[in-house]
Amino acid sequence: MPKNYLSQKVSGLRPSGIRKFFDIAATMEDVISLGIGEPDFTTPQPVIDAGIRSLQSGETHYTSNHGILPLRQAISEHLEKLYGIQYNPVDEIIATVGVSEALYLTFTALLDPGDEVIIPTPCFVSYQAEVILAGGKPVEIYTTMEDDFEPNPDVIEKAITPKTKAILLGYPNNPTGAVVSREKLEAIGKIAEKHDIVVISDEIYDRLVYGHEHVCFPALPGMQDRTILLGGFSKDYAMTGWRIGFAAGPASLINGLVRIHQYSVMSAPTISQYAALEALKVGEPYVQDMLSEYDRRRKLIHQGLNDLGLPTFEPHGAFYVFPSIHNTGLSDAEFAERLLMEERVAVVPGSSFGDAGLGFVRCSYATSHEKIEQALEKIGHFLKQL
Ligand SMILES: Cc1ncc(COP(=O)(O)O)c(C=O)c1O
């Protein structure tokens, strides 16, 4: 066995539970996957065309570290139109390699060794790992189905220590589908102000809400100066493979992100920046079409799982449901493994999203209505055999 040259930080990272299931499922035939965390739609055609046009017209070079100015201008106008918030495109916005890179930049820019980041869980699998890689310490607080998976401001405040640097909010939420009320976000904002803490708000699913208001955190009174807003194209515009997103915030913070970005990736992919610009210009009808199709599936799967006896919170945003499997007597890992082996349906164990997800599984409805119907039938069969 060769010596382990990896750093302790990396050696100690838990592999993503999601990957493990994908790897097993990939070796099997006829699997219906409810495990996928990306739209099943392809990118809207005019957006693809804009990417191709950019290549044909010779846009094959690095861009400014911040990203092309027209894209930053379009992001700025988009945020103002949707949320009434103003960012200077010159120095308050950076185009990144997806929200994934924006998270990496944000933590690396903000955290000194041992700094703590409060993270409501269940949450996106990368959050804790990214904090650890940046030398910080993730402090998980639990959200519960009884509270509609919304973070409790009192619990957040109790978790604050002199080492707390930031609170990370990821709503609409992956994996629960929770959306946080304005009232709760305002209460969290007051806590951030009182303890002088930065808020990182990952709003990558901001357009995917179903009859609920998505409140853009930095648009709350007094919050813009202490918030880094992370936004993306992957989910709203079905552009996961383009690897494009952005961060917006006060120039002093964005400048920190740009410094790391310029030494690590230089600039986000040029073709993707042009495609993202087109998405902001012409993407709205496509977003609305995808949204209404997700909504149809959302209703089917939410009702279907509850009818099968798995208590399931009605998701208000994103494209996931998070049924409780406590009453099956199986752990979430056993449930997911057996469902895959016995019925060929892939779901993700809830504990992949933090310990608050123990006893739940995540099902994505970014797959066709017909496949969801078939999956529900198979889950019903599986439950009867138990
Ligand atoms: C909450 C959340 N944030 C960020 C990401 C990463 O997005 P991107 O494709 O922009 O890197 C995901 C992807 O699943 C996500 O669910």
Q: Evaluate: CB of 39 within 6 angstroms of ligand 1.
A: no
CATH-assigned architecture of domain 8-43+285-385: Alpha-Beta Complex (3.90)
Q: Token pair 């699997």 is at which residue?
A: 31
Contact assessment for residue 316 and residue 212, using Cβ atoms and an 8 Å cutoff: yes
pLDDT band at residue 19 using 50, 70 and 90 as cut-offs: confident
State the Cα–Cα distance between residues 248 and 218, nearest whole angstrom: 10
- Whether the pLDDT of residue 1 is over 70: the answer is no
State the Cα–Cα distance between residues 271 and 51, nearest whole angstrom: 5
- By three-state DSSP, how is residue 226 classified? helix
Per-residue pLDDT tens for 251-263? Answer: 999 999 999 999 9
Contact assessment for residue 186 and residue 154, using Cβ atoms and an 8 Å cutoff: no
Cα-trace Rg, the chain: 21
Q: Evaluate: CB of 89 within 6 angstroms of ligand 1.
A: no
Question: Residue 81: is it exposed, middle or buried by C-beta count within 10 angstroms (0-12/13-18/19+)?
Answer: exposed
Q: What is the per-residue pLDDT for 17?
A: 65
- In the sheet with 116-121, reading across from the earlier edge strand, the strands are 93-96, 245-248, 227-232, 198-202, 164-169, 116-121, 137-142
Q: Evaluate: CB of 122 within 6 angstroms of ligand 1.
A: no
- Say whether 45-282 and 8-43+285-385 share the same fold: no
Tokens of 139: 């402090």
Ligand 1: which of 40, 107, 119, 124 to mutate, judged by most atoms within 8 Å of the beta carbon? 124
> Which residue's CA lies nearest to atom 14 of ligand 1?
37
- By three-state DSSP, how is residue 104 classified? helix
Atom of ligand 1 nearest to the CA of 100: 11
For helices 369-385 and 332-343, the axis angle rounded to 10 degrees is: 110
Distances (CA, A) of 98 to 229, 231, 234, 242: 13, 8, 7, 8
> Which residue's CA lies nearest to atom 2 of ligand 1?
124
Ligand 1: which of 174, 207, 348, 364 to mutate, judged by most atoms within 8 Å of the beta carbon? 174
String of DSSP letters for 138-203: EEEEE--GGGTTPPPHHHHHHT--TTEEEEEE--SPTTT-----HHHHHHHHHHHHHTT-EEEEE-
Contact assessment for residue 177 and residue 148, using Cβ atoms and an 8 Å cutoff: no
Task: Determine the average pLDDT of the residues in 255-279.
Answer: 98
Mean pLDDT (the chain) is 96
What residue segments make up the domains of the chain, in order of their start? Answer: 8-43+285-385, 45-282
Q: Evaluate: CB of 268 within 6 angstroms of ligand 1.
A: no
- Whether the pLDDT of residue 233 is over 90: the answer is yes
pLDDT band at residue 16 using 50, 70 and 90 as cut-offs: confident
Per-residue pLDDT tens for 137-158? Answer: 999 999 999 999 999 999 999 9
- By three-state DSSP, how is residue 68 classified? coil
Q: What is the per-residue pLDDT for 12?
A: 83
Q: Evaluate: CB of 202 within 6 angstroms of ligand 1.
A: yes
What is the 238 CA–ligand 1 centroid distance (Å)? 12
Per-residue pLDDT tens for 291-350? Answer: 999 999 999 999 999 999 999 999 999 999 999 999 999 999 999 999 999 999 999 999
**Top-level class of domain 45-282:** alpha beta
What is the 100 CA–ligand 1 centroid distance (Å)? 6
For helices 270-282 and 69-83, the axis angle rounded to 10 degrees is: 30
